[in-house]
Amino acid sequence: MLSESCGLSLLVALPDDIFSIISRFLFPRDLCNLSVCCKSLCSLVASEKIWLTQCDMVGILPHEELIEWRKGVSSYKALCCFLVSVKPLIGIWVHQNPELGNVVYVMPGFVSVVGCRIIPQELGPLGVEDGPILWAPVFEIIADFDGSTIFFLHGREKGHDYLYPGLIKAVERSCNVLLLEVEPTQQKNQGKLLQSSSLVQYPEKEISRKVARSNSGLSRSQRVLEQSEPVQAVPFSKLAFSDRRKLLETVTSQVRLKVSDLESRPLFPQLRDDVENFRKDMVLLSERRSILLKIFKFGGDDIDWKAGPELLSDPTQLELSEIRKTLDIWSSVRSTLSGDHGHKHLTKSKTLGGYFRNSFRQILGRSGSINGTCTISRNSSSASENRHELLHQFLKSGDTIGLTLHACTMKLSSYRAWPNMHDSRFALYKLPMQAPRTDQEYAGLWGGTFGWPPGRPSEDKPGKALFFLLLSYEESRGQRLLIATKILEGTHYVLHPNGSAMFIVNVDEPSLDPFPWDTDADSCPVNVKHAFVGEGIANGYGFRYPGSKPGSLFVTQNGLLAFIWKESRVVLTLQRLNLPELLKKGEQVPALLPINNFSYLTKSYSNVFAGFSNMSTCLSSPRQNQI
């Protein structure tokens, strides 16, 4: 006991600087456990220096930006809590539709993280590094004063930019799927409903009336038994696709907020060399964040920002008449499920006995009817009832519904670093990024164009299509393969599907082929450091399953990669990308409709992002027929 007391006293007597160095060997949860041991350790662990060290160890931000972010939260401990919670989101997220690329990069903003969609585009004569990369905002997650998270989805409707507030579910550490969902919630405080601007209250009278109508065929004892049973929560993913889309469309139409003051303000600091302009950016970012926090808590339309919160009317309560106009779910679902769009309602609710009678009629080959109208088949009837019941249970489990962002871990299969995706989920999938190391030095994100010298336009072609490739290593039959997976393509009409391997090389087999050119874009001699044998993508077995032709991958002295098809001598030149820096000096363009902006589920082989009036480049690349 004495030794423990002495050890504790020595630990408490350590200066903050020394203990902050020791804390580098601890996790945030270890410090939290220490803080509950005794008052002395609680005081020691509460040191700002210790939690600044922990924020630094998270590895999302450089030290100088942590100091700027601290101004927006209550403490470094609150900031550390936010950084740890959003760190799994940082990285590249994709969806296979449209085929040109649906790449969303999540990066730090200002006391926030921002999801940015890279727009399929062409490059001008300045190339990848100096030309502005076009991007559009998808969502952002902001840290509140206490370190908790606030979610905004971005979208554009009828020529105006909107924000769609929502909530964040717990982010799993190994999350690989990011889902946009609607979730019912119970929010009651002393009998009074509390409602965020991100939530929509579904009228209880409306639910009761329609539930009663749907239960009209049940006996009194069955209805009493159903009311006494606890409501089983139905996951959003279990609902039919049409119901999920309807709920998302309804909620986004009700919670959307238009704030014109934010249009000219950046989402993250621009890449600048001068300190003065950097400070101006920080002021704009801080003001923008303050506005968004007020929007989330008090609403966004016609607000006097100079007035205090006590002077604001409660904008979170939405008119029930408006909800009834846009969220008449029960009627629309019944009409959709019945397949009879010309009638407002089914003429009679099905009972259990009626279900069995109709089933026997189907078995005996007799057509059943209800009041003269033909009924749907047994299988369709069963599916309709199940879907109706699922939606019924889903809505009964809460007083309000609102948007949620759910970062979860799913067991996914993949093919050559590209995950196999569900076509009917409003989801983004995280790409596993291999960090470069001694035996995998070319792993990571690369960008480039076709042609040599790299980035130089020709007389008949002022711009070249930008390609993003994810390079990863894989063991196959005792060989080490380097696989270049296409994740974005800047042509007007897609040449190769998302996830296709642009080239595969054997890094253990040197190539003896010579490099066809002697100089680069600056007329400097080209020095080839390494060359590997491989195969490049080629037309041969159709669009979805293309063929391949032999080629070689060359590594030059300035770090460029060049894959050359042996027969055609077509060359794809690549350079390693620093995507955060490219976005910080890039050009923002308008977003799509909110749900499509998150994940574009419609199959498309053309560029759905090209219809922006302020795009600085023209997307009109022809097919590369020579490959």
H or E segment to which residue 244 belongs: helix 241-255
pLDDT for the residue numbered 627: 53
Vertex 11: Cα angle to 8 and 16 (nearest 5): 145
The answer to whether the beta carbons of residues 388 and 411 sit under 8 Å apart is no
Q: What is the mean pLDDT of residues 138-147?
A: 95
CA distance 244 to 391: 9
The string of pLDDT tens digits covering residues 12-63 is: 666 767 767 777 777 777 777 676 677 666 666 777 888 898 899 999 999 9
Tokens of 141: 């997650």
Label residue 456 by pLDDT band (50, 70, 90): low
With 60 as the cut, is the pLDDT of residue 591 above it?
yes
pLDDT digits (tens, 9 = 90+) for 128-142: 766 678 999 999 999
Position 322 pLDDT exceeds 80: no
List the single range of 275-289, 295-309, 310-324 with lowest mean pLDDT: 310-324
Q: Evaluate whether 482 touches 442 at the Cβ level (below 8 Å).
A: yes
pLDDT per residue as tens digits for the range 415-428: 878 888 988 899 99
Torsion from C-alpha of 83, 86, 87, 93, nearest 10 degrees: -150
Tell me, what's the pLDDT at 417? 80
Chain-centre distance for alpha carbon 512: 44
Task: Return the pLDDT at 101.
Answer: 83
**pLDDT for the residue 623:** 36
d(CA 548, CA 504): 9
The chain-wide mean pLDDT, for the chain, equals 76
Give yes or no for a contact between 219 and 276, defined as CB atoms under 8 angstroms apart.
no
Please enumerate in sequence order all residues whose Cβ is within 8 A of that of 469, keeping only pairs 6 or more positions apart, or say none.
445, 446, 447, 448, 484, 485, 486, 487, 502, 574
Least confidently predicted of 33-37, 158-162, 346-350:
346-350
Q: Which residues partner with 122 through β-bridges? A: 465
Closest by CA to 180, choosing from 199, 148, 152, 202, is 152
pLDDT at 6: 54
Among 163-177, 220-234, 458-472, the range of highest mean pLDDT: 163-177
pLDDT at 389: 74
Which is higher by pLDDT, 231 or 62? 62
pTM of the predicted model, to two decimals?
0.79
Does the pLDDT value for residue 400 go beyond 90? no
Q: DSSP secondary-structure letter at 238?
A: G
Q: Are 526 and 518 in contact (CB under 8 A)?
A: yes
- 2-87 and 434-578: identical CATH topology: no
* H-helix or E-strand spanning residue 3: helix 2-13
Q: Average the pLDDT over 267-288 and give the result.
A: 82
Q: Please give the pLDDT value at position 244.
A: 92
User: DSSP 3-state assignment of 328?
Assistant: coil
447-472 burial, b for 16+ CB within 10 Å, e for fewer?
A: bbbbbbbbbebeeeeebbbbbbbbbb
Q: In degrees, to the nearest 5, what angle opens at C-alpha 344 toward C-alphas 339 and 346? A: 65
Q: For residue 190, report the phi and psi dihedrals to the nearest 5 degrees.
A: 55, 40
Partners of 151 in the β-ladder: 141, 166
CATH code of the region 434-578: 2.40.128
Q: How many whole angstroms separate alpha carbon 266 and alpha carbon 346?
A: 52
Per residue in 609-620, pLDDT (tens digit) is 866 534 444 444
In the chain, the largest separation of any two C-alpha atoms, in whole Å, equals: 91
Encode burial over 160-175: b for 16+ CB neighbours within 10 A, e otherwise: ebbbbbbbbeebeeeb
pLDDT of residue 264: 72
Specify the amino acid at residue 190: Q
Average pLDDT over residues 86-98: 94
Give the model's pLDDT for residue 294: 87
Residue 380: pLDDT band (50, 70, 90) is low
pLDDT at 22: 73
Length of the chain: 627
CATH 1.10.1060 is right for the domain spanning 2-87: no
Report d(CA 177, CA 427) in Å as an integer: 7
Percent of the chain's residues with pLDDT above 90: 35
Determine contact, residues 408/168, Cβ cutoff 8 Å: no
Q: In the prediction, which pLDDT does 11 show?
A: 64
C-alpha distance from residue 167 to each of 184, 197, 243, 245 (Å): 11, 10, 20, 18
Question: How crowded is residue 596: how many other Cβ atoms within 10 Å of its Cβ?
Answer: 16
**Amino acid 607: pLDDT:** 84
If DSSP states are collapsed to H, E and C, what string results for 434-455? CCCECCECCCEEEEEEECCCCC
DSSP code per residue over 526-562:
P-EEEEEEEEEEESSS-SSS-EEEEEEEEEETTS-EE
Q: Flag whether pLDDT at 201 surpasses 70.
A: no
The pLDDT of residue 541: 67
SS3 186: coil
Domain ranges of the chain: 2-87, 194-257+307-400, 434-578
* CA angle (427, 338, 600) in 5-degree steps: 20
pLDDT for residue 599 is more than 50: yes
532 falls in which pLDDT band (50, 70, 90)? very high
Helices (H), 269-338: 275-298, 320-326, 329-338
pLDDT class of 576 with cuts at 50, 70, 90? very high
Supply the pLDDT for residue 126: 56
pLDDT at 231: 57
* 258 — pLDDT class (breaks 50, 70, 90): confident
Percent of the chain's residues with pLDDT above 70: 67
User: Which pLDDT does position 111 carry in this prediction?
Assistant: 95
Q: Write down the pLDDT at residue 194.
A: 37
pLDDT of residue 4 exceeding 70:
no
